Amino acid sequence: MRSFQRGALDLRPVILTPGVSRHAEGSAQVEFGHTRVLVTCSVEERVPPHLMGKGTGWVTAEYGMLPRATHTRSQREAAKGKQTGRTMEIQRLIGRSMRAAVNLSTLGPRTLTLDCDVIQADGGTRTASITGAYVALVLALRALQSKGTLSKMPSLTPLAAVSVGVVKGEVRVDLDYDEDSAADVDLNLVATGDGRIVEVQGTAEHQLFDRKALDAMLDGGMAAIQHLIVAQAKVLG
Amino acid sequence: MRSFQRGALDLRPVILTPGVSRHAEGSAQVEFGHTRVLVTCSVEERVPPHLMGKGTGWVTAEYGMLPRATHTRSQREAAKGKQTGRTMEIQRLIGRSMRAAVNLSTLGPRTLTLDCDVIQADGGTRTASITGAYVALVLALRALQSKGTLSKMPSLTPLAAVSVGVVKGEVRVDLDYDEDSAADVDLNLVATGDGRIVEVQGTAEHQLFDRKALDAMLDGGMAAIQHLIVAQAKVLG
Amino acid sequence: MRSFQRGALDLRPVILTPGVSRHAEGSAQVEFGHTRVLVTCSVEERVPPHLMGKGTGWVTAEYGMLPRATHTRSQREAAKGKQTGRTMEIQRLIGRSMRAAVNLSTLGPRTLTLDCDVIQADGGTRTASITGAYVALVLALRALQSKGTLSKMPSLTPLAAVSVGVVKGEVRVDLDYDEDSAADVDLNLVATGDGRIVEVQGTAEHQLFDRKALDAMLDGGMAAIQHLIVAQAKVLG
Amino acid sequence: MRSFQRGALDLRPVILTPGVSRHAEGSAQVEFGHTRVLVTCSVEERVPPHLMGKGTGWVTAEYGMLPRATHTRSQREAAKGKQTGRTMEIQRLIGRSMRAAVNLSTLGPRTLTLDCDVIQADGGTRTASITGAYVALVLALRALQSKGTLSKMPSLTPLAAVSVGVVKGEVRVDLDYDEDSAADVDLNLVATGDGRIVEVQGTAEHQLFDRKALDAMLDGGMAAIQHLIVAQAKVLG
Amino acid sequence: MRSFQRGALDLRPVILTPGVSRHAEGSAQVEFGHTRVLVTCSVEERVPPHLMGKGTGWVTAEYGMLPRATHTRSQREAAKGKQTGRTMEIQRLIGRSMRAAVNLSTLGPRTLTLDCDVIQADGGTRTASITGAYVALVLALRALQSKGTLSKMPSLTPLAAVSVGVVKGEVRVDLDYDEDSAADVDLNLVATGDGRIVEVQGTAEHQLFDRKALDAMLDGGMAAIQHLIVAQAKVLG
Amino acid sequence: MRSFQRGALDLRPVILTPGVSRHAEGSAQVEFGHTRVLVTCSVEERVPPHLMGKGTGWVTAEYGMLPRATHTRSQREAAKGKQTGRTMEIQRLIGRSMRAAVNLSTLGPRTLTLDCDVIQADGGTRTASITGAYVALVLALRALQSKGTLSKMPSLTPLAAVSVGVVKGEVRVDLDYDEDSAADVDLNLVATGDGRIVEVQGTAEHQLFDRKALDAMLDGGMAAIQHLIVAQAKVLG
């Protein structure tokens, strides 16, 4: 039986808590079952060098895990003096996804940074991060608009992310840590509510997969993303 | 008027929430007003090189702040590739304090690491960290005992910490961020319930201070620490 | 017109030159048009800590670009003191792909490292790297077998990689740098000759894509990979 | 018996040698018994970013130990690629103390850096550094005034520092390395000649301490600091 | 017998291949026997801070080795996070040599960077690098002139480099790896075609050497350099 | 006129002060005019990995400059997080020279580290370091012998170092900073008292040099080294 008594294509309980930070322009805590990520969206009135003078804005992301977010303690990246390749890969994915969610040219010359910090990990930290980051991003943009910094709300593309895998020959959605470790195939999907793809990353962990399996995973992932987008819309009002 | 309508020698509302992590052997969230720190205590069956073969254990601490725990975003230490001097100074203070709380020779050859991660900062993050770390430490030791890893509970010295300052000529306890920025003197006190001192660090920020002022600050700090130790005892049962 | 007068689904001229290093156990130079990558496969009689004593081997990869492999000079990563996120992401992809190509449990307690160094870049450096790395890997294994280090040849899964994109509304295979910069969608596919997928990574660069576009890209990529696998087989004899 | 046949509240022989560097604007060598620190004060016509355009100056400090200043060789921090937490903690303490010694707003937009390099260590390197740094600072300011860079001498607060500890139940001043290793309590005091405190940092090393012990340590430290300030005044003329 | 059936004072076969990079302003591959180095010369329209506003240009060099350029794999410097002392020493030598080859004041405010990357190592990588770098430098300057960036060709001092050693009591020129490992004395010479010295670095590896041996080595090195300069002139037309 | 009223081939006043460190097994302060270097020789009972189990010892060196050893303050390497190429080049030179001074196979499985720290710089810091390091090395070996750690004194090759240059057309020995900055040619020579060469490194700074100039520089350097070796012998007794 899967955790939370759920079926193969069901999500874990998803809880999105908006506005969890006193300081950040936008923030949300996102829980996918026992996975818990705190996302803040910080606005800074500057852009990276390659965008200076172009009038456009920028959206970027950073990702981290508290050392004991995991079953056994990992070394603190700040103490080690560098971020792992996994961390970099994930934060690049989150950043690209968020840039697809908003029209950068309508942001003005400012940078929005989405800090996704994993408080507790149980699989799916990157997909939970993206799902929560969209909420924090929208809240930050609304704050900019209500302060008058932005004269109108930028056009947005709601999007969310979920993991899908083949475990014991079965396509399953939103894997927890134990399933993830046992999966033959692991796929992360970032998509919109109307079925358009932002990112798809599928990896044969222990077994190669064919087009049919890919299609089944995409079907499962797309359906789950509808639910996530409904959940986002609910908290965003 | 001070935040939370409190008097000069009053603490902000203190909330200690034990057992906030599924994975860590011991954990607690500690809130001093709007300051919120997550502490986990991780147990590893190894000791640092200088203790190998001596039969004694070790207790250490690491400290971090989420990038947007503060009013404006700080650069992520993991991305910068090094910890600031402030971070190092604080984590050394927490580590020394925790080593004073437990008899290392009764731990067996294992290391307990207290990770104190500031989720939201509003002054007093180091004193909140120490106060919460004591709770996480005790919970981890109890877990070791109930698993049978430790045959009996090590002897403990309950301790807590508070900041004290001189603000506008008045001695105040548990400064929030605005008071801390305006303080002439800033003192951090780590002490036991029966008035013995573990650490005292007093700094003239904008004005030197005399023995009389030091005494007044110590009086205020010691009294506040009694309350913190009662709060710890309550959650530890 | 595309570079090299080719059609939308055609590869650039592919040249695989085996045995280009006097020192490495296996090596190959791979050219996809003007993209040129040197791959060496080094064998070391040790395994990473997490595999010690398990009898299994390990395959890993590192990726680098000479500073002037690109149109304008990039800073040397060794001088900067760290690898970029892009580099890490790519070398992790190559490593995973190569681990799918060979049964690790038949390697004995040794590590094979595939160093993929881009001598000249014109798009597709990661897919060229994977395609060449398979050749270098097989050559190194044959060398181990002919020296008697391996008693029999490990079972292998021939695989190769290609980039696919949507450029000006058209699905195109094996993008060069100019096309890559202009692509709306960018997909990297690692697959076997019989149509099984090792990795698929698709990214909406400027425009979201739907399942139909994904299918068309996968069709184009799979067909191209057949050609690459034939080319590999030719040089491997 | 204590080193140098001294009583519990006596300093080791203190030697302050001004003007030991040909290049630095101000300099001093300070010896507390066998502890020997070289301090230079360098003046640079720039301020840190957060002070730009404010007209005020800045005073900062750096601290280092030669690798064989100690009983056994320590790894060179420059070779290791980072400063230890202890180094950072000490240089922050020296910097804060020196900023208390001079009115920053009278320095003009320039930075004075106090480099404290321990040539030989035998306990009390941080307190010797502060005591010597005050001399180097004053000499540098006089040099600026005599060159006409400063039109008048900034107002100064003479200050010095000493360590105090409880060793074998006795309060002792200016601990050497052997005493420091054996001390139950270790306190560093930075203060002025008229008994005002700049910094007080007390640590229970092996035993907690009460207010009475703290008072006795402060009494001993304050008295010793008078002697140091007389010694500084003598070399400063 | 020496490799390539050559006499004690003979070079290995030297192959200089100009224009090996599509992107770099100038480039050359240089082979000294089995040693193979790829050199690119990149032109950037900026100068280091210390030359700003002086109207003069700058020439600098960087050196690297592919991890498996050597008999056994070396750790990738980019992965390790720092360049070795050997790398730094070599790239400083190449940089100084190239600055002697051209009049910096005639370059205009631009920087030419010579990237010397060792593809395969068999002794003499630094001397091959310098010999090839001169070719790449001249080609880059010609490219600048033909684009009109430089109105006339800067005056050049043709130079090349060779290693010389004492092996088994015999002075030998252009040592390969095996000879280099066995040499009692190792000398690197950078010089012009008319016998003027740019750099001479001689090291007693296992045996001290006298002036007579030094003279013999210089004689051998100077003669070999004539040949290298002829080879450079041939490819430069 | 040269500094210290000396002739073109004269050294600056040389002062060698042995035994300047309480802790190090051997130590010396060396002054060449205003250049002052502190050298300690530390003995550790371990060897680098490549020498383990071979019974031979190792000699190595590290070099550093205090930040204000120079005319203007340089950034502290420990704070910057890396050593410069110049530092690495110099410490490699010192290490090689010291390994030529003693028979490593007679040291037993231990490492001698020569730390050369420049207290004040005025040209010739690397040659002063080598000259002083020989003294510290011998003193450390004697200490090992008198403690009985070494049963007999290893055989030694006395050596020293000096800089030579061509300044305004004249060969000059032991350049101070001003001469060094103005020199057309700069040569560092490490040699024995009987005229055998350990290292020679000559660099054309602003002008190429011929064999005749090299010979004149070597003559001047060799003569000066005799004086340094006499000075070493005097302090070594």
Give yes or no for residue D55 having a pLDDT over 90: no
Distance from CA of F76 to the nearest CA of D (A): 8
pLDDT of the residue at E141: 98
**Measured distance CA(F11)–CA(E175) in Å, rounded:** 37
CATH architecture of B3-157+228-236: 2-Layer Sandwich (3.30)
pLDDT of the residue at E38: 98
Predicted ipTM of the assembly: 0.94
Q: E52 φ, ψ to 5°?
A: -60, 135
Q: How many residues does chain F have?
A: 237
Answer yes or no: is C125 a known binding residue: yes
Give yes or no for residue F160 having a pLDDT over 90: yes
Residue spans of alpha helices (H) in chain C: 77-80, 85-101, 125-146, 177-182, 211-236
Amino acid residing at D147:
K
- Exposed (0-12), middle (13-18) or buried (19+): which is C49, by Cβ within 10 Å? exposed
Task: Please give the residue of chain A at the shortest CA–CA distance from B77.
Answer: A78
Tokens for F99, please give them.
Answer: 């390994």
Tell me the pLDDT tens digit for each residue of C10-48. 999 999 999 999 999 999 999 999 999 999 999 999 999
Instruction: Return the minimum-mean-pLDDT range out of C134-138, D22-26, D49-53, E137-141.
Output: D49-53
pLDDT of the residue at D1: 81
Tokens for F100, please give them.
Answer: 């030529």
pLDDT of the residue at C154: 94
Q: Does residue A194 or residue D191 have the better pLDDT? A: D191
Interface residue of D157, D159, D181, D197 to substitute, partner B, most B CBs within 10 Å = D197
Q: Give chain E positions within 8 Å (CB) of F105.
A: none
**Measured distance CA(A202)–CA(A214) in Å, rounded:** 8
* Domain boundaries C3-236, corresponding CATH code: 3.30.230.70
For residue C100, the tally of other CB atoms under 10 A from its CB is 24
Q: For C113-135, what is the mean pLDDT?
A: 98
Q: Do D208 and B197 touch (CB under 8 A)?
A: yes
Interface residue of B39, B70, B73 to substitute, partner A, most A CBs within 10 Å = B73
F→E contacts (Cβ < 8 Å), by residue, are: 82, 85-86, 88-89, 91-92, 96, 100, 157, 192, 195-204, 208-211, 214, 218
Interface residue of D60, D83, D200 to substitute, partner B, most B CBs within 10 Å = D200
Per residue, the 3-state secondary structure of A44-77, as one string, reads: ECCCCHHHCCCCCCEEEEEEEECCCCCCCCCCCH
Q: Give chain B positions within 8 Å (CB) of D100.
A: 204, 208
Q: For F172-195, what is the mean pLDDT?
A: 96
- Does domain E9-235 match CATH 3.40.50.1820? no
From the list C69, C73, C119, which residue is nearest E113 (CB)? C73
Q: What is the pLDDT along chain E (237 residues), one digit of tens a residue?
A: 899 999 999 999 999 999 999 999 999 999 999 999 999 999 999 999 989 889 899 999 999 999 999 999 999 999 999 999 999 999 999 999 999 999 999 999 999 999 999 999 999 999 999 999 999 999 999 999 999 999 999 999 999 999 999 999 999 999 999 999 999 999 999 999 889 999 999 999 889 999 999 999 999 999 999 999 999 999 999
Q: C76 φ, ψ to 5°?
A: -70, 125
Say if CB B137 and CB B57 are below 8 A apart.
Answer: no
Residue A42: closest CA among A173, A169, A140: A140
Answer yes or no: is D72 a known binding residue: no
A→C contacts (Cβ < 8 Å), by residue, are: 82, 85-86, 88-89, 91-92, 96, 100, 157, 192, 195-204, 208-211, 214, 218
Residue B112: closest CA among B37, B41, B160, B29: B41
Tell me the pLDDT tens digit for each residue of A35-94. 999 999 999 999 999 899 898 999 999 999 999 999 999 999 999 999 999 999 999 999
Tell me the pLDDT tens digit for each residue of A129-166. 999 999 999 999 999 999 999 999 999 999 999 999 99
Whole-number Cα distances in Å, A182 to A171, A176, A224, F50: 13, 10, 21, 42
Written as one string, the DSSP assignment of B188-229 is: EEEEETTS-EEEEEEEESSS-B-HHHHHHHHHHHHHHHHHHH
Say if CB E95 and CB E199 are below 8 A apart.
Answer: no
F→D contacts (Cβ < 8 Å), by residue, are: 21-24, 27, 34, 38, 40, 42, 44, 62, 64, 66-73, 76-83, 87, 113, 115, 117, 119-120, 122
**Multiple choice CATH, A3-156+227-236, 3.40.50.1580, 3.30.230.70, 3.40.309.10, 2.40.128.50:** 3.30.230.70
Domain ranges of chain D: 3-158+224-236
Tell me the pLDDT tens digit for each residue of A195-216. 999 999 999 988 999 999 999 9
Say if CB A227 and CB A14 are below 8 A apart.
Answer: yes
CATH superfamily label, D3-158+224-236: GHMP Kinase, N-terminal domain (3.30.230.70)
- Exposed (0-12), middle (13-18) or buried (19+): which is E1, by Cβ within 10 Å? exposed
pLDDT of the residue at A36: 98
For residue E55, the tally of other CB atoms under 10 A from its CB is 11
- Whole-number mean pLDDT of chain A? 96
pLDDT of the residue at D206: 84
Confidence class for position D193, pLDDT limits 50, 70, 90? confident
Residue A172: closest CA among A213, A229, A127: A213
Confidence class for position C184, pLDDT limits 50, 70, 90? very high
Tokens for E131, please give them.
Answer: 């010999």
A→B contacts (Cβ < 8 Å), by residue, are: 21-24, 27, 34, 38, 40, 42, 44, 62, 64, 66-73, 76-83, 87, 113, 115, 117, 119-120, 122
pLDDT of the residue at C55: 86
From the list E88, E196, E208, which residue is nearest F208 (CB)? E196
Q: What is the pLDDT along chain B (237 residues), one digit of tens a residue?
A: 899 999 999 999 999 999 999 999 999 999 999 999 999 999 999 999 989 989 899 999 999 999 999 999 999 999 999 999 999 999 999 999 999 999 999 999 999 999 999 999 999 999 999 999 999 999 999 999 999 999 999 999 999 999 999 999 999 999 999 999 999 999 999 999 889 999 999 999 889 999 999 999 999 999 999 999 999 999 999
Tell me the pLDDT tens digit for each residue of D67-81. 999 999 999 999 999
Tell me what percent of chain D is helix, strand and coil, each rounded to the nearest 5. 35, 30, 35
- Exposed (0-12), middle (13-18) or buried (19+): which is D46, by Cβ within 10 Å? exposed
